[in-house]
Amino acid sequence: MPPSIEALRRTKQALRAEARRRRVALPEKERLSRAIWKQLAALPEYERARRVVLYIDHRSEVRTWPFFSDVWDAGKQIVVPYCENGELGLFLLEHLDELEPGMLGILEPQPELRQAPGRAVRLEAPDLVVVPGVAFDRAGGRLGQGAGYYDRLLAHAPEGVAWVGIAFECQMVDAVPLLPHDVPMHKVVTESAVYEPPTCAVRPAEPG
């Protein structure tokens, strides 16, 4: 008999707790984050992306903030996510001073700018979404914070959009139990490897 949904949720919680513990205890996060970014920037999904959806790191997450200038220097646009009414909104960032601390201290776009013309965006090919997570497995399974924000966002992404999880190697686990609403990653990048599940390849956009 397969495990119940409640049993899977308990397993997820245990995996989250252990992965968070290892991530918090990890030394040299800045150096390892640079190694992760180097691997990410070498991916074909990054090379062809016109826009990169890039979360702003918080606490013990893989650092992204130091690499915003690299994205702009590469001639790409940066889109930052923010939480609003239980969903992720996407904001086209033009200047760092358009951000301010939100409720949890995480930098977010200023509320008065979010609906300004051209600033609220939708995913379209060949956008790249860089996805944070608490734990990942080598088959693309992801454990987030548990609210499902990224799963809902990516479930409606059009063909040709790529999503890549980034994590420290210590966050990798043998297997993430997936529920029907969980969206697996196309790739997972750590400081020591690029995991590319064969069943999670990016769907090419239809010409037109």
Domain spans of the chain, in order of start: 5-200
Is 201's pLDDT higher than 80?
no
Of 44, 45, 68, the C-alpha closest to 57 is: 68
- CA torsion 90-95-97-100 (nearest 10°) is 10
Written as six digits, the tokens of 34 are 């640079």
DSSP letter at 113 equals G
End-to-end CA distance of the chain: 47
Whether CATH 3.40.50.10420 fits 5-200? yes
User: Percent helix, strand, coil in the chain (nearest 5)?
Assistant: 30, 20, 45
What is the mean predicted confidence (pLDDT) over 12-26? 97
Which band of pLDDT confidence, cut at 50, 70 and 90, is reported for residue 2? low
Give the pLDDT score at 208.
43
Which pLDDT tens digit goes with each residue over 143-194? 999 888 999 999 999 999 999 999 999 999 999 998 888 999 999 999 999 9
CA distance 64 to 69: 10
Cβ–Cβ under 8 Å, residues 64 and 70: no
Q: What is the mean pLDDT of residues 78-98?
A: 96
The predicted structure's pLDDT at residue 146: 83
Instruction: Record the pTM.
Output: 0.93
pLDDT at 205 over 90: no
Cβ atoms 205, 160 nearer than 8 A: yes
Q: What is the pLDDT of residues 34-66, one digit of tens each?
A: 999 999 999 999 999 999 999 999 999 999 999
Buried b (16+ CB within 10 A) or exposed e, 192-206: eeebbbeebebeeee
- What is the 8-class DSSP label of residue 93? E
The DSSP bridge partners found for residue 77 are 51
